[in-house]
Structure 1
Amino acid sequence: MNLKKIVLIALVVIVAAASVYGYMIYRDIFSANTKFEEAETYVYVPTDATFSDVQKLVSPYVENMDRFMMVAKKKSYDSNVKAGKFLLKKGMNSNDIINSLRQSLPVKLAFNNQETLEDFVGRVGSQIEADSLSLLNAVKDKKFLEENGFTEENVLSMFIPNSYEFFWNTSAEKFRDRMAKEYRNFWTPERIQKAEAQNLTPLQASTLASIVHKETVKKDERPRVAGVYLNRLKSGMKLEADPTVIYAVKKNSGDFQQVIKRVLYKDLETDSPYNTYKYAGLPPGPIAMPDITAIDAVLNPEQHNYIYFCASVTNFGYHEFAVTPAQHEANRQKYVAWINKQGVKR
């Protein structure tokens, strides 16, 4: 066999080997490498995770881990792991998976109607990486509270119920600081001016709004209820709001899960700064997280002369309003008769 034939054969072998090798590389990189049946799934990579951690996280979804690891190393992902929420789609190849693990997705974080700070951080902690304890400590940090004009009693006012976008691996401190910024953005000069027109600060307006929020779920009635409480404040009367009594009873007992449908006379004697039957003025902070409609009801109250109101027995969910004690007593007796008939004891 002459030299030319030997060289030609060698070249053919080399080309064939290269083709096979190239095909194998192509297969490893670009052939489908998932094993879940759903159209898509999400992987959550925690802060400070290593490549080994990621391998464990994706192993339930990746068909061939050797291919995944090979591509990860070729793309230097193994030394550049990123924390966050990541989308995996059925049929992705190893290259797609690595690319996806580099594109952290935001989460839609929503909250409302939380009665306590502890409930609130628990709700948030179920939606981002930061746990409830770290969130609670961040929010209660004395330096933060002082710098932003809050106390532990009123800091719940800082969280305006809405839907927000965060990266899943947002730290407790960054979440808190973002919420402080959102609070400042919410309290525009116009809203502050409206609060001042009611002789209230933004924090006081939020506290009153929490009472209005608890008094009625009917958003169209909230401006009227707010008007009643503002009339009482202006006349020097105690607010005498049943929701504050319920809150005081729960807070004193440490049991916010108990259900109280009926306020008893003994409850009115509960010794708590939140009990507005016992103490004049506003409580030291909100009794719940008021939504925006309740805040705006306080800032834009209905103008009227009503001083009293009682749950209606003919228009359920709404209230009967009164100007005089006699009118109110007549409405109250109707309600007492109705609730007794329902057999509600507590």
Structure 2
Amino acid sequence: MTALKKYQRLECPGLWRETPQDQRREVQVRFGDATLILVDPKSGAALSHWSLPAIERLNPGEGPPLFAPGPDSSESLELDDSDMVEALDTVRAAVKAATARPGRLRGFLLAGTAAVVVAGAAFWLPGALVAHTASVVPLALRAEIGQYALDDLARVTGAPCDNQLGLQALAGLSERVFGPVDTPILYVLPEGVEMPLHLPGDVIVLPRRLIERANGPEAAAGAALVERLRSRAEDPMIPILNHAGLRATFQLLTTTDLPVEALRGYGEARLRAAPANVPDATLVSAFETAQVPATPYALAIDPQDAQMTRLAAADPYKGLAPSPLVPDEDWVALQGICGG
């Protein structure tokens, strides 16, 4: 996916339909690192986030080009900007090459490393094999593996909440916290998730309780902020490969295949995993930079936890009233995201 770097910060207008029954709506389309962001050109509010590897062309060979964020989505996007269409076609070609065999996850791994690994595999420490394999998995394959991990997680928790107004509000909250470029995709799962977690492909999963039991979006925003810190501190591919095992990891590196069955049970294991620690100074700095109050997050996670107590005490916005993270109507919509 290195070739896609030239498209970063690419923007163009487009015509978006939320459902086939809706009128086309003008949007501003932003090409990010792993997502396509659809924005209201008048208000600047994010309307939808699409995972780049999931995007499909609905009318190949016909015009104007029409895209959707997946085979089961009700949304569609009409584009006539040649640069944006080229960028999306490049993504689709990369994903097609990465999934050449049904039932397998495939990617563009560095072919030259395979021979080295084959020659020295018997002497290579397991941790080094996992770390090296994770380091050469490209963005397209990471996003696909993350989606498979989310699917396995959903077997336990139920499918991600999908109220459309709530999803739009969630996308808006993500853009408010992380900015319009390189924005992670946030999901809310209906049950079984007590603590926030993250997956490859810049996916962050939030517990339903952080939204429905909260007085505002600050706790959910803080949870997303901290999970992004954790995902940057340790490659989220590493726990997946540890779960898959050395044989599957070696197969991924040497043949570009990761058996789908190797991910079975990862969702349950991920729910049981303890969250990685983030230094106090890093937490405080992140909340200050994002202009998000830290106290609501600290209280929602565990008011008895020593680090959360320290974070609340060091909250850079304690006693202040920063501007709302999202409009009131978006917060109301977000609270109904699991309501159908």
TM-score, with length taken from structure 2: 0.26
User: By percentage of residues, which structure has more strand?
Assistant: 2
Task: State the structure with bigger RCO (CA 8 A, min sep 6), 1 or 2.
Answer: 2
TM-score, with length taken from structure 1: 0.26
